[in-house]
Amino acid sequence: MHRPIFGHSFAVLVAPILLSVLAFYFLNKKKASARRNEADADSGAPASMTTPTEANSGGSSSLPTETNNGASGPSPTETNSGASTGNCYEVFLSFRGPDTRHGFADHLYHGLLRVGICAFRDDDELCQGEDIEPTLTAAITNSKILIPIFSESYGTSSWCLDELVEIMERRNNSGQVVLPLFYKVKPSDVGRQAGSFGKLFHEREGRLRERSSQDLANLEKWKQALLQVSKVKGYEVHGSEVELVKLVVQRVLRELKKNFELVISENLVGIEIHVKKVTEFLDNTSQATLFVGINGMGGIGKTTLAKAIYNKLSNQFEYRSFIADIRESWKKGVHQLQKQLIGDILQQDIEICDENEGTNIISSRLKDKKVLVVLDDVDNVNQVKRLTGNHDWFSSRSRIIITTRDERIFKGAQVDYKYDLKEMDSAQSLILFSKHAFLMDSPPKEFGDLTREVVSITGGLPLCLEVFGSLFYGKESTEWRDMIKKLEKIPRKEVQERLRISYEALDDGQKQIFLDIACFFIDTDKRIASYMWEACKFFPKVNIEELRFMSLIKIEDDRWLRMHDHLRDLGRTIVRENYERQPWKHSRLWDSDEALKVLKANKVTIYLLFFS
């Protein structure tokens, strides 16, 4: 019997593909209009190098406090220097093309990219017109660190000098970090326009003095900016360029502070002591590679702890990777996770045919890399073997962190240190629950006893404390008592069934969005999925925010949809229940093999509905 799929069930097979394509097209169409072309730079390593010396000029660049939540994650890709808004950049490079474009500036640019720093690379050879175009102004304004690279002919370019004026204004007015590099010129020569730098600058000055008064006004601004920047502590490039690139990259990492921090909840309670205990072992002075295992039941906070440790240690590692939710991701193929690990560390998109090839690449090409790797939610020792192997796969002082619900994995993984994460105590549980239920650290007096009842039911499980706290928020005491009775009927170990109470409290549109995210849209840009939800009249803007407030989903960087694996499993269980062995009766099919079987069995007729 054919079962038509239409209306909301359009999401079953076609929506994720169709909507992703449409969204990708429209989003990129917007970006394309603001781009200007730039030739890709050669990424080869420099051939000859010498030793760097730090410029001893007075002054120092200020260091702003960074609050950017990284990402987890994302492997950077080379970006054209003319991206429309400039707001995705962390570093702005200003240099004179003929002097350094195919040399030092190019090596520095790619050195930054390799560690995941998004850099804007300007080249005055590619620029036209008299004024700094809005693209460059936006890039300077939004970049956290501004790096002018002074070479002999830097002062002959009006474009470079205008950029420098803007750079120094940003330093003086906004506290942005300026890190000047003096390429085969002295800082004092730049400031006083002396030496070979001054000779070329004055030749340019002579020509400008024959022109308008505006040119003379510009000259004064340029000289003032050159004098100011010469007093900022930076680096002189006379020695080994490859060593200096490493030095500058590490300096930038320290200045940024973010260091690609993974997003974690702001309402953490009691995690500091766990981070301290694990990092005390990881900070061991031993030169050996160390494997550390974090064990605990689902929803206990293993992933959050691993993220916090990763954020704390990432400063110390040029090469790092956080591979999330391996238990689920493993189903898509071992080589896909191997590709992610290699891509994160080498910053290269390497095609891998099968898991054996991936294993060989990791064990051979990463041998000389000091890495920080987190394998999150491992449920099979083979996952560790295929991704991080053993202690000699990486350079000395590498750190591998494994989280799992099954501590038996640690023996086969040759873990050096095991940390057993326990439930939160009653005091910590009360604080965490209150943060979500009352938006403060303790309950109002009239809710004190009811709060302690709920907290005791959660068993100190952070996920339940968050979800139930959000569920009870704004409810009257009579509603509290009714929900407490429901919770008490469910055995403490049945975490998923307890979480289901929050799902049942949603309205129909919220339930549909929750199930769609659980089945299709985890780690997806919310804008892509919202096109479908808008068409289905599910009011995504309001309902996504409601799901977030209910702690059933998280939104990272105001964009990416995230969901705890317990909640994901709950959603998929709801979709499958009553028809476990009859997938054609499910409202959603997310497993490609399962969907293919249904189509081959001719159980489903798909109608594509296009909404105007």
Over the stretch 388-406, which tens digit does the pLDDT of each residue have? 999 999 999 999 999 999 9
Instruction: Round to whole Å and give the CA distance between 102 and 354.
Output: 37
Contact 263, 74 (CB under 8 A): no
Query: 394 by DSSP, 3-state: which?
Result: coil
Same fold, 38-256 and 271-420: yes
Structure tokens at 359: 């294993």
pLDDT band at 417; cut points 50, 70, 90? very high
pLDDT band at 214; cut points 50, 70, 90? low
pLDDT band at 285; cut points 50, 70, 90? low
Look up the pTM and report it: 0.59
Using left for φ > 0, alpha for ψ between -120 and 50, and beta otherwise, residue 414 falls in left
In the block, which residue shows the tokens 């001719």? 602
Among candidate residues 90, 152, 163, 166, the one labeled active-site is: 163
pLDDT value for 74: 30
Fold of 38-256: Rossmann fold (3.40.50)
- Render the burial of 213-245: b for 16+ CB within 10 Å, e for the rest: eeeeebbeebbebbebbbbbbbbbbbebbbebb
Selected residue with higher pLDDT from 196 and 8: 196
Dihedral sign (CA 326, 331, 337, 340): negative
Active site residue 163: yes
The ranges assigned to domains in the chain are 38-256, 271-420, 427-504, 508-606
pLDDT value for 606: 52
Instruction: Round to whole Å and give the CA distance between 128 and 333.
Output: 49
Is residue 482 predicted with pLDDT exceeding 70? yes
Is residue 612 predicted with pLDDT exceeding 60? no
In the block, which residue shows the tokens 């909840």? 265
The number of residues making up the chain comes to 612
Instruction: Round to whole Å and give the CA distance between 468 and 299.
Output: 13
| pLDDT tens digits for range 314-323 | 878 878 999 9
Instruction: Round to whole Å and give the CA distance between 67 and 338.
Output: 31
Instruction: Round to whole Å and give the CA distance between 234 and 188.
Output: 12
Phi/psi for 423 (5° steps) reads -65, 155
Instruction: Round to whole Å and give the CA distance between 177 and 61.
Output: 6
Instruction: Round to whole Å and give the CA distance between 511 and 536.
Output: 13
| pLDDT tens digits for range 342-392 | 988 887 778 888 899 999 999 999 999 999 999 999 999 999 999 999 999
Contact 98, 124 (CB under 8 A): no
Question: By C-alpha distance, which of 136, 233, 143 is closest to 179?
Answer: 233
Instruction: Round to whole Å and give the CA distance between 134 and 166.
Output: 12
Q: What is the DSSP letter of 519?
A: I
Q: With helix as H, strand as E and coil as C, how does 278-321 read?
A: HHHHHCCCCCCCEEEEEECCCCCCHHHHHHHHHHHHHHHCCEEE
Instruction: Round to whole Å and give the CA distance between 432 and 440.
Output: 9
* Number of alpha carbons in the 13 Å side-chain half-sphere of residue 116: 23
Task: Give 226-259 as a DSSP string.
Answer: HHHHHTS--EEESS-HHHHHHHHHHHHHHHH--S
CATH code at 271-420: 3.40.50.300
Question: By C-alpha distance, which of 410, 108, 80 is closest to 245?
Answer: 108
* Other Cβ atoms within 10 Å of 546 Cβ, number: 19
| Secondary structure element (H or E) that encloses residue 95, with its range | strand 91-95
Tell me how far CA of residue 477 lies from CA of 6, 434, 449, 481, 490, in angstroms. 42, 15, 11, 6, 21
- What is the CA 497 to chain-centroid distance, rounded? 32
pLDDT band at 505; cut points 50, 70, 90? confident
* Other Cβ atoms within 10 Å of 104 Cβ, number: 22
Give the range with max mean pLDDT: 26-30, 472-476, 606-610.
Answer: 472-476
Helix and strand numbers (H, E) in the chain are 26, 16
Selected residue with higher pLDDT from 17 and 52: 17
Q: Across the chain, what does the average pLDDT equal?
A: 79
pLDDT value for 36: 33
Phi/psi for 541 (5° steps) reads -60, -45
| pLDDT tens digits for range 34-93 | 333 333 333 333 333 333 334 443 333 333 333 333 322 333 333 333 333 445 688 999
